[in-house]
Amino acid sequence: MASLARRPFHANHAPFEDRQDDPLAKVLLPPPNESPEQRAFREHQQREATRVSVEIDELLQEDRKAYERRKKAVKVLLLGQAESGKSTTLKNFQLAFSPAHFRNERLAWRTIIQLNLIRSLKTLLEIMQDEMASPTEAPPPPPQPITQPQSAAPLTDVHRGARKRLLPLLLIEAELTRKLFPELAASASPPGSAAPSPVPGMPGVKEVCVRAGNGWKEVLAALQKEKRGKGATSPTEELTAVLDACREDIVSMWEDQAVKGMLRRRNVRLQDMPGFFLNDTNRVASASYEPTDDDIVRARLRTFGVEEHRFTMESGASGSEWYIYDVGGSRSMRPHWIPYFDDVQAIIFLAPLAFNLMLEEDSKVNRLEDSITLWREICKNPLLEGATLILFFNKASGAMDILQATLANGVKVQKFVTSYENHPNDVTSVVKYFRDKFKGYHKRFSPKPRPFYCHETSVIDTRATAVILVGVREGILRAHLQSVNVI
């Protein structure tokens, strides 16, 4: 080393071919007795190594560009408990600002809506089976057409026959469910089975479900092309054909007075449940059915995990790139929210005004109280101090304004939320009370002052929600431009 240091600079940095004492140069020299074939192979290897190196450099460059684009993109997080309307809000965003992308997925949603219809039918058939198996059931009267009004009459052999004809639909539904979400296959256990649910914390799931990131739309696209033999139909074509064949039986059963009387006695309101399409059976079960925008927004698809949705604005702020994260709202999923708090510009928090309902995971916890607790934690989280918080009071469930219907039935808020005390039991007063409550926690727990945004929504009302989302988009964009020092 000492002798090397004493050498002139140009001697240490001589041209490569002149540096005979460089060990690397010696290694890279071709063998002294290299044959033409060996030389050709060596040069091929060198060219291949150069090609791979260039490809890696290009990939790194693309990754850098993608990272820069992502830094400039608008990132929005949808938060709220399970069934609060997050996925419906996302679909409203896509419909309002990226309609071409939204409508390109219409065929996939057709199958989901058909499965929603069958899930409601499945619940109805299960209730009928329980009713017919009840030891207290009176002897059935002589069979009559099931469309005849008979509100107080028990179910008859005609109902049994109709139920039996509809059972093949459940087999097709179970097969498609296994393909969409294999982990849930075991949950379709026979009645009385003690098999545990394969999804922790979600026993007896009775909804159309997918695992986040499993590419369910691609799975459905593959199923639409899948043929099981020459002249055979795909699973989705079979579903459509069988639904069309069963359409009259489904309509007759749903409109039957004895069935309606059974549901009233058992205090079951299927029409209040998400993804309810039994009132639209004639249209949805038709072989020529094409989903409308409202159908897609109303469709219920439960997602387990965190789903990233990237789309480019086609209207308004045309060309701007948005990332919206739809996260599972069940209690077991909430610890997985934290990684998505970093670098998020806005949070849309969905709070259903369901003051008289309890959590699915814990029947002792009031849903609205749980939303308030969750909102308080979001407000005080230091990772979110720079994020814009937007509160959506979602008043609808299924196909109706659940808050108005609940209050109209004489249900008192004070019975479930004691702090409400003697405030008037009407929609305006209830909404104002809880808005003030959420606003107070927002002001008290935010690490630094920030504006409070609150909207009353019915996320299944696409037109009204679109008007609200335009204002939300402008507010988010303004805050985003301020954060990157553009304005």
pLDDT at 326 over 70: yes
Instruction: Please tell me the predicted confidence (pLDDT) of residue 125.
Output: 93
Q: Is 185 annotated as a binding residue?
A: no
User: Do the domain assignments include residue 34?
Assistant: no
Torsional class of 173: left (φ above 0), alpha (ψ -120 to 50), beta (otherwise): alpha
Higher per-residue confidence, 459 vs 373 = 373
Indicate whether 172 and 282 sit together in one domain: yes
* 396 marked among binding-site residues: yes
CA 107 to chain centre: 17
Query: Whole-model pTM?
Result: 0.72
Within this chain, do residues 362 and 258 fall inside the same structural domain, yes or no? no
Do 335 and 470 lie in a common domain? yes
Q: Is 461 annotated as a binding residue?
A: no
434 part of a folded domain: yes
* pLDDT score at 317: 56
In a domain, 249, yes or no: yes
Query: Token pair of 198, please?
Result: 């394969």
Task: Provide the domain limits for residue 271.
Answer: 105-133+152-186+207-298
Residue 480 is predicted with a pLDDT of: 59
Kindly state whether residues 339 and 362 are assigned to the same domain: yes
Q: At what angle do helices 235-255 and 257-265 cross, to 10 degrees?
A: 80
The answer on pLDDT for 484 being more than 80 is no
Q: Is 394 assigned a ligand-binding role in the annotation?
A: yes
Q: Which of 298, 322, 337 corresponds to the end of one domain?
A: 298
Quote the pLDDT of residue 439.
95
Q: Last residue of a domain, which of 238, 269, 298?
A: 298
Angle between helices 106-133 and 157-180 (to 10 degrees): 140
> The dihedral of CA 217, 222, 225, 227: what is its sign?
negative
Asked if the structure places residue 16 within a domain, the reply is: no
- One domain, residues 287 and 335: no
211: domain CATH number is: 1.10.400
Residues 212 and 317 in one domain: no
- Percent of the chain residues past pLDDT 90, beyond the cut: 24
Inside any domain, residue 43: no
Q: Are 275 and 120 in contact (CB under 8 A)?
A: yes
Q: Which pLDDT band, with edges at 50, 70 and 90, does 404 fall under?
A: confident
Under a CB-based contact definition with an 8 Å cutoff, are residues 434 and 393 in contact? yes
- Among 251, 277, 298, the domain-final residue is 298
CATH number at residue 346: 3.40.50.300
Whether 315 has a binding-site annotation, put simply, is no
> What is the rounded average pLDDT for all residues in the chain?
79
Domain for residue 25, yes or no? no
Same domain? For 163 and 222 the reply is yes
Do 342 and 460 fall into the same domain? Answer: yes
Same domain flag for 315 and 444: yes
**Token reading at 419:** 């702090």
**Residue 214 marked ligand-binding:** no
Residues 312, 279 share a domain:
no
Annotated binding residue at 466? no
Residue 471 lies in a domain: yes
366 marked as part of a ligand binding site: no
Closest CA to 361 of 332, 326, 396, 337: 332
Domain count, the chain: 2
Write down the pLDDT at residue 400: 44
Q: Any binding-site annotation on 33?
A: no
The verdict on residue 65 lying in a domain is no
Helix (H), strand (E) at residue 392: strand 388-394
pLDDT in tens, 149-193: 444 567 888 888 989 999 989 988 888 888 877 765 544 444 333
Q: Do both 251 and 158 map to the same domain?
A: yes
Residues 97 and 110 in one domain: no
pLDDT confidence of residue 213: 61
Q: Return phi, psi of residue 105, to 5°.
A: -100, 10
40-85 residue pLDDT tens: 888 898 899 999 999 999 999 888 887 777 777 888 888 988 878 8
